[in-house]
Structure 1
Amino acid sequence: MNRVIIDRECKLEVRNSQLIVEDKKVPLRYIDFLYLIGEIEINTKTIMKLLKEDISILIQNRGFGLIYPQKSKNNDLKKKQYFALKKEVDIAREIIRKKIQKSIDNLVKLNKKIVVDFKILDEISSKDSLLGIEGNFAKEYFKEYFSLFDKTLTKGYRSKRPPEDVVNALMSYLYTLLYYEIANRLIFYGFEVGISYLHESFRDHMSLASDLLEVFRSDVDVFVYEMFDNKKVIKKDFTKEKKGIFLRSEKRKEIWSDIKDFFENLKIDEEIAWLRRMIEN
């Protein structure tokens, strides 16, 4: 998937099937996903031209927003998603199994170890019970994971809203970015992102993206550890605000190439294909 990332104050236009960014021009045929970060001027006419070319737009300022083409794709798949709700516990079980197994494997890469009896998963018949098992595993997992960091970087536990330390801040930021990346891929392949099997759908929550994100969370965690371990990110790269601790905008710009490479190496399309098989079989 071809991404164009624009992270400086500028004005965007589309002319002659090209995206115009100041003195630079990018043919629209080379763009699948456009990241707009910060104070960028773009009008509705330009947005509509981008959507017409099947280009999704992720806008990030204080929050995030995804604008994507509303063309109806693959209605047959959407019907299959709906009928697959009859086996949502089975699909949710396999998502959690994948998440736990990958988390264990990734901890091994970091010289940490957790032992899990997967037979318990097979005995579960309700989603609430599955989530209970996943929650208990997460406690053990994060206990091992956060022990890898110096105590000046983390309080030793997962904190989300708001993130209470710099490690959690980078984790949350990357989880959110990856959520939108996965959502865009699912939409591209014709999935209905509001039909999910592990997470509950509400308002504009793209819950199917949250389902699939679970499989990749520990990959993000390894990436976060490596960024701190290699000193590509340090404590002063973050700012403390009333709503929590956040990565500074100038540092985001510096590490975009690392994030982009990380996303490219994730096997998102393979896991989407796996999810589709689970839905259709």
Structure 2
Amino acid sequence: MNPVPDLVPARMVSEFVYCKRSFYLEWVLGQFQENHEVAEGTALHRKVNAVKGSVPATSEEKPFKATSVQLSSPELGLVAKLDVLEGDGSFSIPIEFKRGAPQLGDDPVWLKDKVQVLIQALLLREAGHKCSTAYVWYDKVKRRVSVPITKEAIDWALAQVADLKKVAASHKIPKPLIDSPKCRRCSLVEMCIPDETNALDGKSAQPPRRMVATDPASRALYITTQGTYIGLSNGVVELREDRVTQEKVRLLDVSEINLYGRIEVSSTLIGACLERNIPILWFSSGGWFKGYASGAMSGNVDLRRRQVLASITGALDYAKTMIAGKIANCRTLLRRNAKIDVEPTLTELTRALARVKRCKDKQSLLGVEGIAAKAYFSAFDAMLKAEMGFTLEGRNKRPPTDPVNAMLSFLYAALAKEMTVSLLSVGFDPYQGLLHEPRFNRAALALDMMEEFRPLVVDSTVVKLVNTGVATPDKFQYRGDGCIMKPGMKKDLLRAYERRLDETIIHPVFKYRTEYRRALRLQCRLLAGVMMEDIAKYVAFTTR
């Protein structure tokens, strides 16, 4: 059983009445995300968040008015912050501010709002005040709606608190609402994935809706020019070279910051990014992913416990699904783009898919994956236009010895970074793998999760850059045994990679239009759902 905190916030009881699943995600698992409705509510509460006025010991004194009043009761196990508390000399009256409008019908106060003010009234009574009425201010219509404080209403509110504690202690995420209109307005919809979960469980006859809570305007920032200084001034990120500002971008428009090689970052910018949970990621100048800094880790401890247990006990089914997805996508990419006959390789990949199903342990699975990868990369040249002057004689790295391998290695590291950020946002430990063994400074789970997307995101990007003439031999140079990209080629490659992540596709399982970037995050959430016993089976992302 999960230990439930001594004091339950009234706001969480309100969330529980609205949706038990969103309550569990936010309060028990520590997941939260802001959407425009939450932002509007926050802006509204700025009017009453400032502590003003004083509260007398009882109601039977002179009239008073106070804002942002904190009340708690260890006996009841409840805590609340009252937006406004008014007294008329006889009774104390709590007033809760809400951004929306009352519901239609005989009882205009929404249940989630009613339970919140009922708990506030209960806490007032516990503190020695008389309270027979509470109000909810609905800002959209600019009026108060009263809530009578009756014994029946208080009993109902206390029953909700008792149910909340049972759910919080259950170690079981409540099932999502089915085809509910509430979901579109919920800020946690991308974490909850209600329609996707119901579709995989066969709970809904309706096709999944594409519901996105986040603002997609923010984008990743990449800095590859050596010696660049990046700082923050009045909410604006400034990139300087030789003390001259070369570029400015609002921090509001930045989703993550990627630093390649010798880049200096101001402590002010680092602090602001940590506060806003904007990850900063460091790479070598050649693209090797070195590490990251991010805000506080997700409170989803239960997920990380299950992740470690799955890693120790084998997690073979997850790994087999991921590798099967990778091999299937390699086969699809090769079949679509080959300029010459590659039927023998396609046949070999089909056989590898069959062998994956028969694997009994990780070692045999890694062996099959290695054989399939060797076959795939031996035919990679077939996807490249011969007149462009590029060839690939098998996969090599550390260092890559040819331009194609240099581009592949660079973008595989970028994809590992993408998966690391996505896994962190869900609550995983990206370094505790299911197939890849944990090693020093290797995000093993990110390497596991990116397998399905290697051919779809990275390989396809490299093939396109070669065949369209963006990548040319003169944009590469050789040093010792290795081949490296010139600065301009790195920028071209990252721009193409970002365009690929933003490309819209039809999701192969849920059939709605989405972007590769969201598909990456969704796969992480599906894996979390399976580990938390919320979803029955992990399904790979494969295209035809």
TM-score (norm 1): 0.90
From the two aligned structures, give the one with the greater helix fraction.
1
Offset at residue 39 of structure 1 (A): 4.5
Aligned to 1:201, the other structure's residue is in SS state coil
Measure the CA separation in 2 of the matches of 1:7 and 1:126: 41
Q: Give the stretch that moved more between structures: 65-74 or 22-31.
A: 22-31
One-letter amino acid matched to 1:158: R
Q: 1:78 maps to which residue?
A: 304
Q: 1:96 aligns with which of 313, 316, 323?
A: 323
8 Å contact kept, 1:54–1:68:
no
Does structure 2 retain, via aligned residues, the 8 Å contact 1:147–1:156?
no
After superposition, what is the alpha-carbon deviation per residue over 1:46-89, rounded to whole angstroms, capped at 9, x for unaligned? 32232222111123443543322251202222122123233411
Write out per-residue CA displacement over residues 163-187 of structure 1, whole angstroms, 9 at most, x where no aligned residue: 1111111111111111111111211
TM-fit CA distance, 1:270: 2.6
Mapped to 2, the partners of 1:3 and 1:169 lie a distance apart of 22
> How far did residue 24 of structure 1 move?
5.2
Query: What SS does structure 2 have at the residue aligned with 1:32?
Result: strand
Larger radius of gyration: 2
Selected match of 1:142 from 361, 377, 401:
377
Trace 1:121-140 onto structure 2 (pairs within 5 A).
121-140=356-375
Structure-2 separation of matches of 1:245 and 1:170: 10
Report the CA distance shift for 1:82/1:52 in structure 2 as closer, same or farther (over 3 A). Answer: same
Q: How many residues align?
A: 281
User: Does 18-27 or 176-185 show the bigger shift?
Assistant: 18-27
> CA offset at residue 2 of structure 1?
2.5
Q: Does 1:58 align with 2:281?
A: yes
* 3-state SS, counterpart of residue 498 of structure 2: helix
Shift of 1:238: 0.6
Residue 209 (structure 1) shift: 0.5
> What is the rounded CA distance, in whole Å, between the counterparts of 1:20 and 1:68 in structure 2?
19
Match of 1:19 in 2: 237
AA in 1 matched with 2:482:
G
CA deviation after TM superposition for structure 1 residue 15, in Å: 3.2
Residue 392 of structure 2 contacts residue 405 of structure 2 at CA under 8 Å; is this kept in 1?
no
Match of 2:198 in 1: none
| AA aligned opposite 1:180 | K
Q: Which residue matches 2:429?
A: 192
Q: Deviation of residue 255 (structure 1)?
A: 4.0
Please state whether the residue corresponding to 2:281 is helix, strand or coil.
Answer: strand
Instruction: State the Cα distance separating 1:25 from its structure 2 match.
Output: 4.4
Q: Higher relative contact order by CA 8 Å / sep ≥ 6: 1 or 2? A: 1
**1:263 aligned to 471, 493, 501, which one?**
501
Which amino acid is the alignment partner of residue 148 of structure 1?
Answer: M
**Which residue of structure 2 aligns with residue 248 of structure 1?**
486
CA distance in 1, matches of 2:290, 2:368: 32
Question: In structure 1, how many angstroms separate the alpha carbons of the residues matched to 2:527 and 2:493?
Answer: 31
Q: Which runs of 5+ in 2 are unaligned?
A: 1-217, 240-244, 504-515, 534-544
Q: How far is 1:133 from its partner?
A: 0.9
Give me the CA root mean square deviation. Answer: 2.3
Q: Residue by residue, what CA displacement relative to the aligned partner does 1:87-128 show, whole Å, maximum 9, x if unpaired?
A: 411111111111111111111211444121334322221100
- How much does 1:190 deviate? 1.5
Structure 1 counterpart of 2:221, one-letter code: V
Closer/same/farther in 2, CA of residues 121 and 37 from structure 1, 3 Å limit:
closer
Partner residue in 2 for 1:5: 222
User: Whole-Å Cα distance in 1 between the matches of residues 437 and 260 of structure 2?
Assistant: 29
- Does the aligned pair in 2 maintain the 1:154–1:167 contact within 8 Å? yes
Asked whether the equivalents of residues 95 and 212 of structure 1 are also in contact (C-alpha less than 8 Å), the reply is yes
TM-score relative to the length of structure 2: 0.48
CA distance change for structure 1 residues 277 and 101 in 2, over 3 Å: closer, same or farther? farther
Comparing 68-77 with 130-139, which one deviates more in the overlay? Answer: 68-77
> Bigger CA drift: 17-26 or 260-269?
17-26
Task: Specify the SS of the correspondent of 1:245.
Answer: strand
Quote the offset at 1:4 in angstroms.
Answer: 2.1
Aligned equivalents of 1:254, 1:226: Cα separation in 2:
12
Letter in 2 for 1:109: R
Provide closer, same or farther for how the CA distance between residues 77 and 249 of structure 1 changes in structure 2, counting only shifts above 3 A: same
Deviations 1:203-229 (A, max 9, x none): 121100110121112121122111101
Q: Identify the residue that residue 401 of structure 2 maps to in structure 1.
A: 164
- Percent of residue pairs identical: 25
Alignment check: 8 A CA contact 2:232 2:266 kept: no
